[in-house]
Structure 1
Amino acid sequence: MKIVTLLGSARTTGNTATILGWVEDELRTLGHDVERINLTKKNIKPCLGCAKCKESETEINCVQKDDAEEILQKMIDADVTVFSSPTYFWGYTASVKALMDRSWSLVTNYKKPNHASLLEGKRQGVILTGGSDYENNAEGLVFAFNKLQGFYKTQNAGELFAGKCTIDGNRPEDAEKRAITFARNLVS
């Protein structure tokens, strides 16, 4: 399978990047093609809400010309997309949120009989890290991710939250084992 991972952390050796790396390593071991995109290194402008993208059901059609269109096309071309983000103030990082907002261009006629998505049928997963427990960190992000699956018409292939992470790189002892299990579930 072709898999695109989206790193939403500026800390390229931090908890989120490390856990995502374990997932990517396992996916490669299983024989899958994996490409990581570091969203914090990309130019992703905020959605303008102009709705120009709604004029086409077969292409991205965004008026803004930045790195978002290339990333969204890679998501379309992939079998699986994995979002990853530390929790920032009970939300996704700005780079992840900006890409999610711009993904509005991938869907037309939401909640109508002719609802169409350029991602329909694809698999998606999410990896989240945080300093506290699930309820005080990731619960709202997972809720939003699940809503996004309905919008995209995609399959939720898994959710992984590693709580009790610290800025100095401490993670739960079972984080690597859980990352490997998550990776296997993404492609099963």
Structure 2
Amino acid sequence: MKVCILMGSPRLNGNTASLVEPFANELKKHDAEINIINLYTKTIHPCVACRKCQDVSGSFGCPQKDDMQFIFHSIIEADIFILATPIYSWYCTPPMKAVLDRLVYGMNKYYGNIEKKECLWENKKCAIISTCGYRVEKGADLFEQGIIRYCKHSNLNYIGMLAIRDEGYHTPFINDQKIEQTKLFAGHLADLFSAK
């Protein structure tokens, strides 16, 4: 099982990273190969809706010169990709949003002049790891709903979200209970993959 984790946090040692580490370690116990891509260290331009990618069959096809081609290949090679992001203003961070915008066009050739419409990542599995300051049902719910729609549009298999609340700046975020939640989520995803 190959897992690509797109890390959308600007803080390399922040709350989201403190969940990704035990998550990745638990998946390794299930013989997973883990590829973590820190989006804040990559050059990712926003989509400009030129739609040139729509007329390129079989590949990403975006004419912008940045790190998205690398991210595209990393997701194509993975069995599961994870969107790991803190929630800012009820949605993911800016580089994660830019990645999602670029992929929804580059992976889905629905809008151009290609005779046969293509979905380059059809049936790939997608999950979320998120942290938020509000209660999860009011903090991470809109992002999850957006990704559920995104997955339906892109013929992806959405397989769930681990969302954990930060109780405040004066309360340590990570603890044994949260680490155990994270390990259970990793085990759940591994079981889903092995059951296919």
TM-score normalised to the size of structure 2?
Answer: 0.88
Aligned to 2:6: 6
Inter-partner Cα distance in structure 1 for 2:72 and 2:46: 14
Return closer, same or farther for 1:167/1:56 CA change in 2, 3 Å cut-off.
Answer: farther
Query: In the alignment, is residue 139 of structure 1 matched against residue 135 of structure 2?
Result: no
Partner amino acid, structure 2, of 1:105: G
The partner residue of 1:153 within 133, 152, 155 is 155
1:166 Cα offset (Å):
3.5
Aligned to 2:74: 74
Q: Is the 8 A contact 1:5 1:34 kept in 2?
A: yes
Inter-partner Cα distance in structure 2 for 1:187 and 1:30: 7
Aligned to 2:181: 178
**Secondary structure at 1:3's aligned position in 2?**
strand
1:106 Cα offset (Å):
0.6
Deviations along 1:103-161, one digit per CA (max 9) or x if unpaired, are: 02110227xxx653111111111011011102321110000110111122111122111
1:56 Cα offset (Å):
2.5
Tell me how many residue pairs correspond in the alignment: 185
Which has the larger displacement, 155-164 or 95-104?
Answer: 155-164
1:31 Cα offset (Å):
1.0
Q: Is the 8 A contact 2:18 2:174 kept in 1?
A: no
RMSD: 1.6
Query: In the alignment, is residue 164 of structure 1 matched against residue 170 of structure 2?
Result: no
Unaligned runs of 5+ in 2: 192-196
Aligned to 2:128: 126
Aligned to 1:105: 106
1:72 Cα offset (Å):
1.2
Inter-partner Cα distance in structure 1 for 2:71 and 2:122: 16
1:178 Cα offset (Å):
1.3
Inter-partner Cα distance in structure 2 for 1:160 and 1:115: 33
Q: Is the 8 A contact 1:124 1:157 kept in 2?
A: yes
Return closer, same or farther for 1:54/1:19 CA change in 2, 3 Å cut-off.
Answer: same
Aligned to 1:63: 63
Q: Is the 8 A contact 1:162 1:172 kept in 2?
A: no
Unaligned runs of 5+ in 1: none
1:171 Cα offset (Å):
4.2
Inter-partner Cα distance in structure 1 for 2:36 and 2:3: 9
TM-score normalised to the size of structure 1?
Answer: 0.92
Q: Deviating runs (4+, > 2 A) in structure 1?
A: 164-169, 171-174
Which has the larger displacement, 167-176 or 123-132?
Answer: 167-176
Q: Percent identity?
A: 29
